[in-house]
Amino acid sequence: MARSQRQQARLAPYKLGLIGGAAEFEQQYPKEMMKLGCLTACWSVAEDALCQVLAILLSDKDKAEAAFYSSNNHKARSDMVRAVAARSSLDERAKEYLDFGLDTLAKAANARNELTHGLFHVEPYSGELLSVRRRPATKVPVITKSGILKNLGDAITLCELAINVLQGTIVAITNPQLIDDVLSGRTPSLRRPP
């Protein structure tokens, strides 16, 4: 029986096999898709924490959100926070801690970008999920066969670490007397109640 036009439109031929829509990925690779969703959710929490840091540094939530969300570029947002922090009266240790959080978030961004901007393919013989990174275009494509789950887990771990450090920075900025607790890892959680 011939495939409908809709089914044909959903399937695109690639060198490494046919890719269907999200439903096929979810059915065939539930762990990978769940972790990709977790990474997406974790990333939004990290971006929110970064915006909160900017709001505290500027002492104005509305202006911070206007400036922060006027850019969709993560590096530009991090650079903005770093620049404002450098010109603030923050304790030097709090600045160093914030720099560590921003550096960790940058590593998480790189790991996330490699995964979210990869081209996913299915190896036709084994059915294995592959991620092909073609960026920058001048480099030979890197094909990741195994390790997609590990790479997703590593990206989530980096993102969670960045969130914890950024939340610790918020505590250190708003309660300078707690800087020693923040640096030793004894800070209260800033997670919002459900």
76-103 residue pLDDT tens: 999 999 999 999 988 888 888 899 899 9
- State which residues form the domain around 174: 34-178
- Contact predicate 130/145, CB 8 Å: yes
Query: Whole-angstrom Cα distance, residue 125 to residue 114?
Result: 25
Query: Whole-angstrom Cα distance, residue 5 to residue 151?
Result: 36
Judge whether 75 lies within some domain.
yes
Question: How many domains are there within the chain?
Answer: 1
Residues in CB range of 93: below 8 A, 6 or more apart? 172, 179, 183
Query: Whole-angstrom Cα distance, residue 157 to residue 35?
Result: 11
Judge whether 78 lies within some domain.
yes
For position 194, what pLDDT does the model report?
39
**DSSP states of 128-143 as a string?**
-EEEEE--STTSPPEE
Torsion angle of alpha carbons 176, 82, 47, 169, nearest 10°?
-20
| pLDDT above 90 coverage of the chain, percent | 36
User: What band does 148 get if pLDDT is binned at 50, 70 and 90?
Assistant: confident
The number of beta carbons lying within 10 Å of the beta carbon of residue 106 is 15
pLDDT mean over 138-147: 61
Judge whether 24 lies within some domain.
no
100-132 residue pLDDT tens: 899 999 999 988 888 877 777 777 777 777 777
Judge whether 11 lies within some domain.
no
Judge whether 101 lies within some domain.
yes
User: E-strand spans in 79-188?
Assistant: 119-122, 129-133, 142-144
